[in-house]
Chain A
Amino acid sequence: MNAPRAVGRAPVPGNPETGVEPGDEAPQAEAPADRETLAPADTDSGEPPAPEIDAGPGDTPEDDPEPTVAEQPEPRTQPRPEWWRHDNERWIVGDAGRQPEVVPLPSTAIAATRPDTVVDGGRVGGLDFRATSTRGLGHQQAGTPRQDAYLVRPSRDGRWLVGCVADGVSEGRRSHEAADLVCHTVSRVLLDGLAATRPEDLGDWQSAVERLPWQEAVDAASAAVVRAAHAAMQAVYRRRGDVESLASLEDAPLPEAAARTVMSSTAVAFLVSTAADSTGGHPFALTVAAGDSSALRLAAGAWHPLSEVKNAGADIASSAVRPLPRAVRTQPTSGVLRPGEALAVITDGLGDPMGAGQGVVGRFLADRWRTPPDLLAFAQHVAFYRRTFTDDRTAVVVWVDADR
């Protein structure tokens, strides 16, 4: 079965909490309150095919003697569930299509050591966060690396949670490097900017946000990607012994457009105050620096987009993006998260099936994410099957505890 491979490895960048081996994952880790949504999956086989219905008995993983559906009451004539688990443990939202048939191949040609899936999470001050980046079925099927990345870093004084979500653009073979680089660079510049700001200088949040170095962060990220692309091209020319191209590389700085053919990435940078302000809310700010990654707020079970929703109202869809490196003008958005609310920063791998969050994917995630879930369960929520959506998915979600 696919399940163990699909979950992948969960390395622990600076977070001991994630040091859980994939094999330790408890299949029943969902909170009891979640049960009600797991209505019997075999009520009907009418419209969309539900793969678990026709899966033979041999398809049940040996380590899971009790399929989830077995715990449910007798099948009755009730509405078909909107989401359920496949026999391989992965969530299905609405319609899996043939996605459960995908057999993941490791990436061998490039980035062979890049983990399929990474997970993080923890509590910082009044915030809980969960983060995951998981390789899409398209890349799994093709044996190519995950090109998404994220980074979440508490500031040294613990007052801020700073992060970035990035989606390496598929045309560049090394775009996964751009995604990592963008996350590191943007987060570092923002953290430096915050460290240089005294709390008493913050004053009004909106104007404080505008003084933070968003522009510098994004410009530095573009420059870092250009340098990395330059180095990658040098390495290739050297290996080929292409003296002429090597020399031409030295003649002039690498144009951003040329760098983008080697690697490029989208970026959303964000920061959230770990301490509540005088009204009990947690100030946050973010900027969509490039491309179609996005951010939403989850409040009272409903999603509210904080950035443009891709293809909203478009007659004919398009997936064109304008990634870094390039000259962009940053425009930060700011707000305050109230107790019980959450901020989600995501790549389009999740944003596309989710839209503005009013559909079945939005309902699924809002239901699962009423409170911070278990780390590995969170990764599974992000990695649901949904027909035609096969991109890498990345999500960083920050909750403000309702009771604090």
Chain B
Amino acid sequence: MNSGFQPSAVADDKLLVLAFYVVVDVSISMEHNGGLIGANTILPTVADAIEASPTLGDVVRFGAMDFSDDARVVLRLGDIRDVRTLPQFTVRGGTSYEAAFTLLRQEIDRDVAQLRSDNYRVYRPAVFFITDGEPTDAPDALNSAFEHLTSPSFAARPNLIPFGVGGATKALLDPWVYPKEADSKKSMRSYVAKDGVRPEDAVRQIAEVLVSSVIASAGSVNSAGSTGGFVPPADDDLEDWL
């Protein structure tokens, strides 16, 4: 029954997978303003949601990274149900977007190659990028890291959605949205917390929104639709955000 395996049989046996990454700024200010407390609700919230839905866990793979002066993998992309102890985001130092983008490119490359060799049909990953302030990078190096991450020649270039709390402004975040309107009909956008909203609460809201987006995306890969994979957050769900 298993003999006569052809290359196309392998292709036709593919299961689906949707990869999500959350990338958190762990600079000192994120600790001061409480943003990190909010960030540490993200993984448990996502894990609970995935545990509660039989079909979600089957399709979603989740990973987490942090960045300050450098960037590190906090949770390697995988099935969050397999993780016994969810890691915490802990404070380190500065704010290098460049380090985050470079690590993202490296990890997505590696993760997507692994998923494909495990015979998954891979959709474009989504990155929730959470920061509270200006990058400390040299502009040229930062731009080049972003271009490397979102280059059209990189098939798995992710949907990139920056969330800003504290000192982060729209003007600061908008350059790091991908795809932008000019790139695609399905453009993403950035979000900044409204004035007066505590960063901790704003980031807690990201956790909820992330779950809604994960659920909608999982539905979308399994349904005829025009969104095709990742479904960005619904603006209605982000009342404390602009």
* Chain A interfacial positions (CB closer than 8 Å to B): 37, 79, 81-82, 94-95, 97-102, 136-138, 141-142, 147, 167-171, 266, 291-293, 311-312, 315-323, 347-349, 352, 354-363, 386-392
Contact = CB atoms under 8 A, between A and B. Distances in A.
Contacts of A81: 1
A352 to B, nearest CB: 8
Contacts, number: 150
A98 B81 CA distance: 12
Q: Is the interface of A mostly helix, strand, loop or mixed?
A: loop
A348 B218 CA distance: 15
Contacts of A392: 223
Nearest to B11: A355
Interface string B50-61: 000111011100
B9 to A, nearest CB: 4
Contacts of B78: none
A37 B2 CA distance: 12
B143 to A, nearest CB: 24
Contacts of A171: 225-227
A169 B116 CA distance: 28
A356 B8 contact: yes
A39 to B, nearest CB: 8
Contact of B223 (A317, A360, A361, A391): A391
A98 B57 contact: yes
Q: Is the interface of B mostly helix, strand, loop or mixed?
A: mixed
Contacts of B2: 79, 82
Contact of A387 (B11, B58, B124): B58
A362 B8 CA distance: 11
A318 B123 contact: yes
Contact-size category for B: 35 or more
Contact of A355 (B14, B55, B219): B14
Given A98-B55, A355-B8, A359-B8, 8 more contacts: A82-B2, A316-B124, A317-B121, A317-B123, A354-B12, A387-B58, A388-B16, A390-B222
A170 B12 CA distance: 24
B16 A359 contact: no
Interface string B215-242: 0001111111111110000000000000
Given A316-B123, A388-B58, A169 B225 contact: yes
B55 A99 contact: yes
B155 to A, nearest CB: 4
8 contacts: A142-B219, A266-B224, A318-B229, A320-B226, A352-B16, A352-B222, A361-B12, A363-B1
B145 interface: no
B55 A102 contact: yes
A136 B222 contact: yes
A356 to B, nearest CB: 6
Residue among A94, A386, A390, A392 facing the most chain B CB atoms (10 A cut-off): A390
B10 interface: yes
Nearest to B6: A358
A176 to B, nearest CB: 12
Contacts of B15: 95, 386-389
Contacts of A167: 224
Given A138-B219, A317-B121, A317-B123, A37 B12 contact: no
Residue among A37, A138, A320, A388 facing the most chain B CB atoms (10 A cut-off): A388
A394 to B, nearest CB: 11
